[in-house]
Structure 1
Amino acid sequence: MSTTSVPAQSILNVAAYKFVALSDLPDLRATLLAALKSLGLKGTILLSPEGINLFLAGEPDAVRAMIDRLHSFPEFADLEFKESLSDHQPFNRALVRLKREIIAFGVDGIAPAHRTSPKLPAQQLREWLDQGREVTLLDVRNDYEVALGTFENATPIGVDHFRDFPDAVAKLPEEAKDRPLVMFCTGGIRCEKAGPLMQREGFKEVYQLEGGILKYFEEVGGAHYQGDCFVFDQRVAVDPNLEETDTELCYACQATLTLEEQQSPHYVPSVSCPHCYKPEDQQIVDQCQKRNRAILAATDPLPGSTPQDNIRPICVSEKCDGLALIDLLDRAHPHVGRDVWQARCDAGLLRLEGEPVDGQQIVAAGQRYQHVIPAEIEPDVNPAIEILYEDAAIVVANKPAPLPMHPSGRFNRNTLTSILKTVYHPEQLRIAHRLDANTSGVVVLSRSKAAARQIQPQFESGKVKKTYLARVHGHPTKDSFECNAAISAVPTQAGLRTIDEAGQASATRFEVLKRLDDGTTLLQVTPLTGRTNQIRVHLWHLGFPIVGDPAYLTDGKLGETQTLAVDAPTMCLHAWKLQFSPAGNDETVEMTAPQPAWAN
């Protein structure tokens, strides 16, 4: 071991590894961790059945005491350490971890404790290089390490991770197998596994640099080496004198940064550097793609495809105050049937504050009962939600159809908000407006209460400009027309709104985009008010019902279906564009969802 000391550098850094069969790893871990803490040392010790790998730093006396402690174990009696000095502690904490391998490789049959390639001492390598001996120098480190420095005329293996080494070896030229080859890495541990693999692949004369680059620096210096050596601690790199350099590491992309690169405006520690910086627009695109991959994972299989109790709320209004529960249920949902409701009460499926209640219990205004549907599997939906945009305040999505916006009735987990709750956890996204389950298109959600206070009032007051696409039955005679028929404030028994002279004032503007040969027409639709089902009701009233609408049918008829089955023909209504102000001021943005196939 080196005994060189530099007074200004008071922290001793040591590295060591050994391939040796180990057992009772949990007990060994506890013993070594206690020793590290008692000596005030920091760093990492990796233990596995195949051996030990460590990087430690601290006061020199404490480090040497730890070395003595390790040497007291028979398995580590001959453990060799590489040393260097620094003026600060390069590690944040003390860790002892149990791993499957002390250096990840993933190749069966490679056991350095039993067989490895011959080791070439640093002095001998220098002599070979001084003599100009014909030899292949193979750098088995990752590309970002090689970028900081390597031996003159060395061949980098060309990997981003050591587990890719076997594939990289297979790509080396066949003639390289007949030439003497010296491989090297930082401290030698990777070569312990790389050497036997290369011998197994037919390389005839393979050596590994004993102790790696760090041992070479310690014994030889920088002869025949260009640059610095990457190290896996906060020093980032050391020069041939084993002194820390000005190099920094970008923790976002793992690129090494020169002092000049650290002056770049694109270098923000832990965020970006000149190598990985992306303009804001590209960052948004990348983040949306990441969210869309998460949505795909969260919806395969559909979350509602596994049985789960569905709890539906039943709220007592003023007009139902004093009724028996069974009368309330029969009045609110007559299509279910009084006998069915009574059977559900008898089965304990109607509850108040979690406790079963009798059907004859008298209800009071303001109470909230729970209707439990046990082990329910929800109907299938189209889960292909696409995140179009997101920033710190809002999320903009392209909602597919059929897909309910939020839990209601038969749908709980198979809804837009439930799926996005999983993807954005622990955030609680807030929908700023609603679309029918059968309507596709652009949806805005707020990421905070503050954002919701800016955005939701714009939808409620009608300040948001909405543009829809609709494909309807029939050919309107005019290219532009408007409907101002009032719409009922109260839904029918089937939950539908209809035209009602005494209803809510409503206005929708229509423009013909194309009259199609199949007798349908593509319209651009601008709702000037925001009533429930407004576009569908107005088109139905005008005699141009939307293609695929299960509720507002041709010939002025009404259907009984609300949410379409996932395999049913699409309802051709699409929320195409929204124009609003994210900050609630005069600056507006327009969010656009891609046009569906039926609109093209």
Structure 2
Amino acid sequence: MTNTLSTIVNIAAYKFIALDELPRRRRELKSLCSRLSLKGTILLSTEGLNLFLAGSRGSIDEFLVEVRSDPAFADLKTKDSYSDRQPFNRLLVRLKREIIAFGVEGIEPAKNPSPKLSAKELKKWLDEGRPLTLLDTRNDYEVQLGTFENAVDLDIDHFRHFPEAIKQLPPETRERPVVMFCTGGIRCEKAGPLMEREGFKEVFQLDGGILKYFEECGGDHYDGECFVFDQRVALDPNLEETATTQCFACQAPLNAADQQAETYVLGEHCPHCYEEFLAKHRATIEQRQMQLAEFAKVLPGSVPYDHIRPLNIPKRFDQATLLDTLDGLHPHMGRDQWKDFCERGFITFEDHEKREHPVDPQRIVRAGQRYNRHVPAMVEPAVNADIRILHEDDAIVVLSKPAPLPMHSGGRFHRNTVNFFLDEVYAPQKLRFVHRLDANTTGVVVCARTKAIARNLQVQFEAGTVEKSYLVRAQGHIAEDQFTSTTSIGRDTVQAGLRLPDPDGQHARTEFKVLERCDDGTGNLTTLLEAKPITGRTNQIRIHLWELGHPVCGDPGYLPDKKLGRTQTLGVGEPPLCLHAVRLSFVHPETGEPFLAEASMPGWSNSQHVP
């Protein structure tokens, strides 16, 4: 059945014949195919030739004329089909021990072939209802796509398993006609002589296989498609390419239903290999989790180490003294403390050769210069390092962050941070945070494996298409079951680095829903809420609840009665900040499918464990 609209001709051919001079034949065939721009696979062995090639009609015809000029292949027959694209990526011409792997000694199809049954004769037998056994010699994944009606499936995953499989056939099979078939006939060439040797009395092979049957008889008595070993994956009885594709991971053919299944993710897994994928995925995460736990046995920042902090000079301190600059940048340290640091050589300046020199506190600084502050034998506060990996793939890693635990280096923390832990466990790869949680906040954190993936996700956050859901426990009973806060938030920090509501500040919107109102019987009233920040301002949920008179339980910065506290990271063992990023929903940057990241509920979400 010729498709005149298609431009690529696909041919399959084989011949069992004793061959010699294989290296020469390989060179000549490779040169011929390259000259004609043909792609595909040619296998040569001492037992014959097996080929699958594709190219233009003119190139295929010229190739066949040249090959058939060799007396060994003068009668070479082909099975033709057509496609709109080249189904092969490259040309391979290989020397093999067998042109079809079987692994059984003494089988010589060229000398002792089984009788062949033409496609039209088989159709006639099937039309008549003649008693026979139709035996499918193909692999299980091929049979899944289609086979002849009432055919026997040997359930093998490689042709090498055929010899053992036929031993399991019912004894009566040996007494009646058996018609074997495969894609193009080559497997039956070897299977037939073996079956005769094993005592099957009347064995036929379908001449030209399923493809020849399609060409001459269409789809009569056949149910489904035929798997082919190229990028087309499967052909229908009209020898047209179907919508069937192939799993990148396990190579299984995937029909339309497979491609619609939830367990199919392009490039990762399909319904046939999903369980294996899950097992490997779990093993990878378990290994990472063990590495994190091992690394956290002794917190890296809690072991004394010498630390260097960069001090960059901003424009406003250009031409000021170093002492005035340091005191202006970090007034909480005290002027005398900074002077002492300078005199003890803890403040240095690098020359152009990267050599460090102590500096006088009265030195005049220039904007853009960088100085170093040396902190000898630094010991960081303890943290909760129980980081949990929720998901990872080739694009993203999703974590559940504990608290207290800063994400980035800064202030009193440089090694006891999420970033430092991940750098150790995922080295040499450096994960990129696409959003952040405060040190005292727990829950879902999404990391990107590459800069491009990070940018993709950041664009989603900036566009407001990422759905964020937090669990929060607030002080007091909130009357409304559902409410929205649109209080604007100031751009600048005030006391202790905290931001405040500001009518001229940045627009902010948070939607709240009351989940439970709790009373512990001692007058301690709290409300458990779901909070959905539509915008993403710093401390947004905490500020909105504080402004409403219901600060978050455990918040060290936003206190009852509109008072402000401190912004420092809480200590291990202190009552927690009851704010938990419970889920994030976004479009996966590689698959383009919706992705939901969800963390387990914290202990304080239970009314029996209100801190």
Provide TM-score, normalisation by structure 2: 0.52
8 A contact 1:349–1:356 mirrored in 2: yes
Q: Which amino acid aligns with 2:390?
A: L
Distance in 2 separating the partners of 1:577 and 1:456? 17
Give the letter for the 2:322 counterpart.
L
Q: Does 1:391 align with 2:388?
A: no
Gaps of 5+ in 2: 1-96, 98-249, 253-267, 351-355, 607-611
Residue number in structure 2 paired with 1:520: 526
Whether the 8 Å CA contact 1:296–1:384 is kept in 2: the answer is yes
Instruction: Give the C-alpha shift of residue 300 in structure 1.
Output: 0.5
Q: Secondary structure at the match of 1:366?
A: coil
Is 1:333 the counterpart of 2:330? The answer is yes
Corresponding residue for 1:370? 372
Alpha-carbon distance in structure 2 between the residues aligned to 1:531 and 1:379: 27
Q: For the structure 1 residues 277 and 440, does the alpha-carbon distance in structure 2 shift closer, same or farther, using more than 3 Å as the test?
A: closer
Is 1:480 aligned to 2:486, yes or no?
Answer: no
CA distance in 2, matches of 1:504, 1:361: 40
Give the Cα–Cα distance (whole angstroms) in 1 for the partners of residues 399 and 572 of structure 2.
Answer: 19
AA at the equivalent of 1:517: D
Q: What does 1:477-516 correspond to in 2, within 5 Å?
A: 477-516=479-518
Q: How many residues of Structure 1 are paired with residues of Structure 2 in the alignment?
A: 335
CA spacing shift, 1:347–1:529, aligned 2, 3 Å: same
Q: Distance in 1 between matches of 2:502 and 2:365?
A: 33
Q: 1:292 aligns with which of 289, 294, 297?
A: 289
Match of 2:321 in 1: 324
For residue 467 of structure 2, what is the amino acid of its counterpart? K
Task: Give the drift of 1:347.
Answer: 1.1
Q: For 1:584 and 1:554, how far apart are their aligned partners in 2?
A: 45
Superposition deviation, residue 554 in structure 1:
1.1
Supply the distance in 2 between the matched residues of 1:558 and 1:520 (Cα, whole angstroms): 20
**Is the Cα contact below 8 Å between 2:495 and 2:564 reproduced in 1?**
no
Tell me the equivalent position of 1:436.
438
SS of the counterpart of 1:450? helix
1:195-594 alignment runs, 5 A limit: 278-353=275-350, 354-518=356-520, 519-583=525-589, 587-594=593-600
| Contact preservation (8 Å) 1:382, 1:400 | yes
What does 1:163-174 align with in structure 2 at a 5 Å threshold?
none
* Distance change in 2, residues 1:373/1:439 (3 Å): same
Contiguous gaps of at least 5 residues in structure 1: 1-86, 88-263
Residues 366 and 462 of structure 1: CA distance in aligned 2, closer, same or farther (over 3 Å)? farther
Structure-2 change in CA distance of 1:457 and 1:362 (3 Å):
farther
Post-superposition Cα deviations, 1:224-265, rounded to whole Å, max 9, x if no partner, equal: xxxxxxxxxxxxxxxxxxxxxxxxxxxxxxxxxxxxxxxx96
Q: Which amino acid aligns with 1:435?
A: L
Aligned-residue offset at 1:384: 0.1
Contact 1:468–1:524 at 8 Å: present in 2 too? Answer: yes
Q: Tell me the distance in 2 between the aligned counterparts of 1:316 and 1:587.
A: 46
CA–CA separation in structure 1 for the residues paired with 2:348 and 2:543: 37
Cα deviation, residue 286, structure 1: 2.2
Code of the aligned partner of 1:409:
G
Contact 1:402 1:439 in 2 (8 A): yes
Shift of 1:459: 2.1
Equivalent-residue separation in structure 2 for 1:284 and 1:528 (angstroms): 33
Deviations for 1:530-568, whole angstroms, at most 9, x for unmatched residues? 111111111111111111111111111111242000111
Tell me, in whole angstroms, the C-alpha distance in 1 between the residues paired with 2:467 and 2:349.
43
| Structure 2 CA distance for partners of 1:473 and 1:446, relative to 1, 3 Å | same
Aligned in 2, Cα 1:451/1:414: closer, same or farther, shift over 3 Å?
same
How has the CA–CA distance of structure 1 residues 357 and 378 changed in structure 2, closer, same or farther, with 3 Å as cutoff?
same
Pair 1:351–1:581, CA change in 2 (3 A): farther
Q: Distance in 1 between matches of 2:393 and 2:313?
A: 40
Distance 1:335 1:298 in 2: 33
| Structure 1 pair 291–337 and aligned structure 2 pair: CA distance change class (3 A) | same
Residues 567 and 344 of structure 1: is their aligned pair in 2 closer, same or farther, counting only changes over 3 Å? same
CA RMSD of aligned residues (A): 2.6
| Structure 1 residue matching 2:497: 3-state secondary structure | coil
In structure 1, how many angstroms separate the alpha carbons of the residues matched to 2:349 and 2:436? 29
Identical amino acids, percent of aligned pairs = 50
Cα gap change, 1:591/1:440 in structure 2, threshold over 3 Å: closer, same or farther? same
CA contact (8 A) 1:309 1:372 kept: yes
Q: For the residues of structure 2 that align with 1:307 and 1:451, how far apart are their CA atoms?
A: 36
Which residue matches 1:169? none
Letter in 2 for 1:597: G
Q: Greater CA deviation, 495-504 or 468-477?
A: 495-504
CA displacement at 1:495 relative to structure 2: 1.2
| Post-superposition offset of 1:507 | 1.2
Cα deviation, residue 460, structure 1? 3.0
Compared CA separation, residues 324 and 460, structure 1 to 2 (3 A): farther
SS in 1 for 2:422: helix
Contact 1:485 1:538 in 2 (8 A): yes
* Paired residues of 1:488 and 1:497 also in contact (CA < 8 A): yes
- The one-letter code matched in structure 2 to 1:598 is W
Offset from partner CA, 1:85-143 (integer Å, 9 cap, x none): xx9xxxxxxxxxxxxxxxxxxxxxxxxxxxxxxxxxxxxxxxxxxxxxxxxxxxxxxxx
Deviation of 1:582 after TM superposition, in Å, equals: 2.6
CA-CA distance at 1:493 after TM superposition: 4.2
1:406, distance to aligned residue in structure 2 (A): 0.8
Return 364-373 or 336-345, whichever deviates more.
364-373
SS in 1 for 2:491: coil
> Could you report, residue by residue, the CA deviation over 1:192-220 in whole angstroms, capped at 9, with x for unpaired residues?
xxxxxxxxxxxxxxxxxxxxxxxxxxxxx
In the TM superposition, residue 588 of structure 1 has moved relative to its aligned partner by 2.1
Question: Does the CA contact (< 8 Å) of 1:484 and 1:507 recur in 2?
Answer: yes
8 Å Cα contact 1:487/1:505 also seen in 2: yes
Query: What is the CA distance between 1:584 and its match in structure 2?
Result: 7.3
